[in-house]
Amino acid sequence: MVEYTTMNLPLQLIRSGTVITLTPLPTCVEQTTCSDCLGDKVKGFQCQWCPQIRTCSSGVDRGLQRWRDNDCHLNSIRTQCDSLTKKKILLFIIMAQLVLILGILFGLIIWTRSKHLRRRQYAWANQALADILEEEMQNHR
């Protein structure tokens, strides 16, 4: 049996009508991230993080069956959170920046090509107009 905590209540302060409000201390099962699970929030328990089911446990709580079914008792993290989450975030940021840069480059290529094509079209149209005008002038001589 795991002892949650001991309370020392001064009996001389307890009289008829006294109300005592108990605030529960944090437990492993309440933690939702690896860093919270292995951090300083939970005192008096040996919390472990199971990455397969993303659950924190002391190994003797209501999630024991699920913990064992997923082999968390064999593969749990007990000391330091895996930096895989940080690596995934970093990879996502790098990929987003790469997509942004490629999008900008693609846009610039399309813009410069269309600008170049317009210049060619204008030059061709101007040349065609000049040829027509020259032909007209020769016909009128």
Residues in contact with 38: Cβ distance below 8 Å, sequence separation at least 6, in sequence order: 47, 49, 77, 78, 79, 80, 81
**Token duo for residue 95:** 């990929």
Q: Would you state the pLDDT for residue 57?
A: 92
Domain count, the chain: 2
Does 90 share its domain with 47?
no
Domain-located, residue 137: yes
Distances (CA, A) of 25 to 2, 4, 10: 14, 9, 20
pLDDT tens, residue by residue, 84-131: 566 777 888 899 999 999 999 998 888 888 877 777 777 777 777 777
Calculate the CA 20 to chain-centre distance: 42
pLDDT, residue 60, reads 80
> Of 79, 101, 121, at which residue does a domain stop?
79
With 80 as the cut, is the pLDDT of residue 17 above it? yes
The verdict on 101 and 138 lying in the same domain is yes
140 and 98 within one domain:
yes
Per-residue confidence (pLDDT) for residue 32, from 0 to 100? 92
The answer on 67 and 51 residing in a single domain is: yes
Do 59 and 48 meet the contact criterion of CB atoms below 8 Å apart? yes
pLDDT value of residue 123:
72
96 with 70, same domain: the answer is no
Q: Are residues 39 and 56 in the same domain?
A: yes
Exposure b/e, 17-48, CB count within 10 A at least 16 = b:
eeeeeeeeeebbbebeebebbbeebbeebebb
Tell whether 75 and 108 lie within a shared domain. Answer: no
Same domain, 65 and 115: no
How confident is residue 70, by pLDDT bands cut at 50, 70 and 90? very high
Query: What's the domain range around 34?
Result: 25-79
User: Bigger pLDDT: 137 or 69?
Assistant: 69
55 & 100 share domain = no
| Whether residue 88 is found in the same domain as residue 141 | yes
Residue 4 has pLDDT above 70, yes or no: no
